[in-house]
């Protein structure tokens, strides 16, 4: 489907330059090089593509947001953004409203419903905040004027334009995060192309308007990134004699489990639940008012493939457990007391 043409590159240069902050001198040249490559590699119409890029706006606020990510916050502040009574209640409601879709996704992909719901809750508060930036503005700003990660965002811009052609999206109307992530699950363009699915069977993968596609796509993403059906995620732990020698201590930056549950127990790491000694595990420290220690398993690492941050994975885990408890309490007919218990459990983790 041809792109909607708003204006041509030369005709829009003045508009771009006048938008809050003039783009860096390299912006226009990078856009021209990118456009030529897209025409050569993928057969885009040159005039139409230049028209789309001309309508894009360099946005300084996007660059500023990239330099102050949520994941730079301490755990106390980061957790307070996502594990809240309101978001727990919203997750319980979302799970009730989409119970059949979640059950289908679990049967097909092996991913627990509460994990899928928690991802959507952390990402966009169940679709209430899918972002305010045009994706084209985010990806051109970062691809043409953010040298530290320009290569990555130019690849994402390429993927976005291909996605727009494949899914019949208007590239000038799609909105998302300051980093160009889209829809209720906030997929970046390459993930949208590679992992989104059409669960509702309408011929399109719609991550804004179709909860079926959203739920199925999150489940597929986790299956493709190592989720282990039916296995736990992480457990709060205590250290009998401080950080044990010879054990790698993982902090904010994710790392695959590099030891076993048996080795951690032998080294003085204690937690309530029992796993087979050979289960892969890692010892994680999260900063707080007091340091927290956790035993992370393969599924904890799988969550970090969605967002490469242990704080993110921990927020998803704790929110998911509170949603699970609240949903089960309501299903038993205990109502508000169960929801209150779920909130208290989350607050105590």
Which residue reads 């045009």 in tokens? Answer: 134
Is the pLDDT at 198 greater than 90, yes or no? Answer: yes
- Give, in degrees to the nearest 5, the angle at Cα 207 between 342 and 43: 155
| pLDDT tens-digit series, residues 174-197 | 999 999 999 999 999 999 999 999
Q: To the nearest whole number, what is the mean pLDDT of the chain?
A: 90
What tokens does 92 get? 């319980």
What tokens does 338 get? 């169960």
Residue-level length of the chain:
349
| pLDDT tens-digit series, residues 224-282 | 999 999 999 999 999 999 999 999 999 999 999 999 999 999 999 999 998 999 999 99
How many helices (H) and strands (E) would you count in the chain?
A: 16, 8
What tokens does 304 get? 């970090």
| pLDDT tens-digit series, residues 2-57 | 443 333 333 343 334 334 467 888 899 999 999 999 999 999 999 999 999 999 99
| pLDDT tens-digit series, residues 288-342 | 788 999 999 999 999 999 999 999 999 999 999 999 999 999 988 865 544 444 4
- Please tell me the pTM assigned to this model: 0.89
234 SS3 class: strand
Q: Which residues are catalytic?
A: 123
Q: Where are the beta strands (DSSP E) in the chain?
A: 133-134, 175-176, 234-239, 249-250, 259-260, 269-270, 280-286, 292-296
């Amino acid at each position: 489907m041809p792109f909607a043409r708003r204006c041509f590159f030369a005709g829009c240069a003045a508009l771009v330059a006048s938008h809050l902050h003039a783009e860096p001198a390299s912006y226009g040249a990078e856009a021209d090089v990118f456009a030529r490559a897209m025409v050569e590699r993928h057969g885009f119409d040159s005039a139409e593509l230049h028209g789309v890029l001309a309508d894009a706006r360099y946005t300084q606020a996007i660059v500023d947001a990239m330099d102050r990510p949520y994941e730079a916050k301490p755990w106390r502040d980061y957790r307070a953004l996502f594990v809240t009574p309101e978001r727990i209640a919203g997750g319980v409601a979302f799970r009730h409203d989409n119970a059949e879709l979640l059950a289908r996704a679990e049967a097909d992909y092996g991913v627990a419903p509460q994990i899928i719901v928690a991802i959507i809750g952390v990402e966009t508060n169940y679709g209430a905040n899918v972002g305010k930036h045009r994706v084209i503005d985010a990806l051109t700003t970062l691809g043409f004027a953010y040298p530290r990660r320009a290569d990555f965002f130019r690849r994402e811009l390429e993927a976005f334009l291909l996605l727009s052609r494949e899914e019949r999206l208007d590239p000038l109307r799609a909105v998302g995060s300051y980093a160009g992530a889209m829809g209720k699950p906030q997929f970046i363009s390459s993930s949208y192309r590679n992992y989104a699915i059409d669960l509702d069977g309408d011929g399109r993968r719609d991550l804004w308007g179709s909860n079926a596609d959203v739920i199925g796509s999150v489940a597929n993403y986790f299956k493709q990134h190592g989720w282990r059906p039916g296995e736990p995620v992480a457990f709060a732990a205590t250290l009998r004699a401080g950080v044990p020698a010879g054990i790698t201590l993982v902090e904010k930056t994710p790392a695959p489990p590099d030891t076993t549950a048996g080795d951690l127990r032998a080294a003085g790491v204690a937690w309530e639940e029992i796993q087979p000694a050979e289960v892969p595990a890692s010892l994680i420290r999260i900063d707080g008012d007091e340091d927290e220690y956790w035993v992370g398993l393969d599924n904890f690492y799988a969550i970090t493939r969605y967002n490469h941050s242990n704080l993110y994975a921990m927020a998803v885990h704790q929110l998911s457990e509170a949603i699970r408890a609240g949903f089960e309490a309501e299903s038993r007919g205990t109502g508000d007391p169960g929801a209150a218990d779920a909130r208290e459990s989350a607050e105590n983790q």
